[in-house]
Amino acid sequence: MRRVVSVWFPAFPTDRLRQPESPREDAGPRIVVAGRTVMAVDAAAAGLGLRPGMKLAQAQVLVPGLSVHDADPAGDAAALSRLAEWCLRYAPLTAADPPDGLWIDVTGSAHLRGGEVRLLRDLVSRLNDLGWTAHAAAADTPAVAHAVARFGGGGSVPAGADAMADFPIEALRLPAGVLAGLRLMGFERVGPLAAAPRSPLVRRFGTIVALRLDQAAGRVPEPIVPAVPRTLIQARLTFVEPLLTAEAFSTVIVRLTGTVCGDLEQAGLGARRLDLLFERVDGSVQAIRIGTVRPVRDVRHLGRMLDERLDQVDPGPGVEAMRLIVARAEQAGFTQIASPLTQDAPPGLASLVDRLTNRLGETRIYRIAPVESDVPERSERRVSPLSGTGGDWPADWPRPVRLLNPPQPIEAMALLPDRPPAAFTWRRVRHRVRHADGPERIAGEWWKRDREWTSVRDYFRVEDEDGRRFWLFRRGNGSDADTGDMRWFLHGVF
């Protein structure tokens, strides 16, 4: 299933004035004009009542001291294509959508960012940090994503949902003349327009209305022509006959990776991210992307990782060209891989980590490193699988092998202030405590949160009559109500 993200910059020309490459000294509200008409206003100007489409004279009368800039369509287009290249960090297929948008085809790459919703959030917040006001939406077709980004406030549209019906007809990307004509005919929303008979519409407006409706429904493909920076190492092969089978693709991958790895070696680089684009006969482009944890230029390793992703490719009527692009490269030194004098060095874990990262996602493969905190939940953190963990936990304090998150409430009876419970009930099963050890008092970390200034947990290790061992704690020190509400929890199993 194809998933496309559309990004909309509502104030692209004025946002560009704030970018570092075109710093302007002037303060105050800014507008961009084309001829004598206001084309874009920034947030300050919009707050003062200025709107795109006003006459410049009217705007200057309304807001004295307005800073006016001439429109620069060529500069805008260049900035937009630079942004499209920047978005390659999210997916291999990105393109500018002039005058004020971007396309990103996130099919099969959203999980690397923890899902579509998190990808969109990350994208918008990074763009905001760079000084761009942006709205982003993800949907099955470019048309729906485009409409939701501009008219629906952005967000992820579930697959197969009919999101367009309630949008105004402006959401269909129609020329102004056609829109006016449709309004004259009484069409306000997309839903009734989609349900109306096609032939009168085609006779009156040409095929554009039908085409836009079919693109929104996914009945007509709308390819995204990818933006590929020319400076990257890449290799492309075109075929006399369209290719269809996975075996054929594997053969091509071997040749492409061979070429690319040769170029990488000459440049002293290793690939961190590779995009393989399949240019189909029908003009659409499919892509797979792989990432590595270390710079790699090993033909076999890269080829195998690309091969594993081939099941995501839909060759459709056939693939006429394939292009392998090194989207991100880093310096990689030369390593000696064999020597007759020494034993084989143990192979590193990098290849295992690479393959699993591409399969499971970046956050799902990790090492656990100790953190200097006595609060159990905070005493570990995940680090990259190839980094060291450094240090160890203090060995004298017994800890369970399974930690229940969150701690499960139990009913327990114990003598205050510091006796272990005589029995406790967990999930309606009563456990009589035969032996116990404790309390181990763990105080809250007041330097992290004010609420933990006084809070205390008293931990007990207990063994029930079957010999099972549990790690229980009581919120509070048993005498002072400020330290906790004296409720009991099961936090772990030994």
Partner 1 sequence: MFTSLAIPDKPGSARSAIPEPPPATRSRSIALLRERIVQIERMHAKGSAERSFPLGIGAIDRALPTGGIRLGALHEAVSAGPDTEHAAAATLFVAGILARTGGPIFWVLRQADLFAPGLACAGLTPDRIVFAEAGKDVLAVMEEGFRHAGLTAVVAEHTGRLSLVASRRLQLAAEQSGILAILIRRSPCFDDPALHEPTAAVTRWRIAALPSPPALAHAPDTPGLGRARWRLDLTRCRGGEPGSWVVEACDATGRLGLVSGVSDRSAQAA
Binding residues for partner 1, rule: CB under 8 A, are 346-349, 351-353, 355-356, 359-360, 364-370, 376, 379-380, 385, 388-390, 392-393, 395, 398-405, 420, 429, 434-437, 461, 463, 465-469, 492-494
Q: How many CB atoms lie within 10 A of CB 390?
A: 8
Give the strand order in the sheet containing 285-296: 234-243, 319-331, 269-280, 285-296
Min dist CB 444 to partner 1, Å, is: 19
Residue 370: is the preceding peptide bond cis (ω within 30°)?
Answer: no
Query: Which residues does residue 67 pair with via DSSP β-bridges, in sequence order?
Result: 30
Query: Nearest-5° angle of CA 62, CA 65, CA 68?
Result: 90
Residue whose CB is less far from partner 1, 82 or 367? 367
Min dist CB 306 to partner 1, Å, is: 16
Min dist CB 436 to partner 1, Å, is: 7
Residue whose CB is less far from partner 1, 280 or 461? 461
Min dist CB 424 to partner 1, Å, is: 14
Contact 299, 365 (CB under 8 A): no
In this structure, is the dihedral angle defined by the CA atoms of residues 75, 77, 83 and 86, taken in order, positive or negative?
Answer: negative
Which residues are within 8 A (CB) of 206 and not within 5 positions of it... i.e. 6 or more apart? none
Min dist CB 372 to partner 1, Å, is: 12
Residue whose CB is less far from partner 1, 175 or 398? 398
Please, is 440 exposed, middle or buried when counting C-beta atoms within 10 Å of its C-beta (0-12, 13-18, 19+)? middle
Min dist CB 369 to partner 1, Å, is: 7
Min dist CB 1 to partner 1, Å, is: 20
Min dist CB 437 to partner 1, Å, is: 4
Residue whose CB is less far from partner 1, 99 or 400? 400
Residue whose CB is less far from partner 1, 64 or 347? 347
Residue whose CB is less far from partner 1, 224 or 462? 462
Gap between the Cα atoms of 348 and 339, Å rounded: 17
- Cα-to-chain-centroid distance, residue 229: 21
Strands 67-70 and 30-34: parallel
Contact 439, 460 (CB under 8 A): yes
Torsions phi, psi for 320 (to 5 deg)? -100, -15
Gap between the Cα atoms of 263 and 103, Å rounded: 30
Residue whose CB is less far from partner 1, 72 or 440? 440
Gap between the Cα atoms of 251 and 254, Å rounded: 5
Gap between the Cα atoms of 345 and 359, Å rounded: 27
Place of tokens 């937009």: 80
143's tokens: 């048309």
Residue whose CB is less far from partner 1, 18 or 309? 309
Residue whose CB is less far from partner 1, 333 or 347? 347
204's tokens: 């009156």
Place of tokens 């836009």: 212
Residue whose CB is less far from partner 1, 379 or 425? 379
Query: Which residues does residue 488 pair with via DSSP β-bridges, in sequence order?
Result: 410, 474
AA identity, residue 197: P
Min dist CB 292 to partner 1, Å, is: 15
Residue whose CB is less far from partner 1, 86 or 366? 366
Min dist CB 443 to partner 1, Å, is: 18
Residue whose CB is less far from partner 1, 284 or 358? 358
Torsions phi, psi for 442 (to 5 deg)? -120, 120
Min dist CB 172 to partner 1, Å, is: 40
HSE of 478 in the Cβ direction (CA atoms, 13 Å)?
16
3-state secondary structure of 254: helix
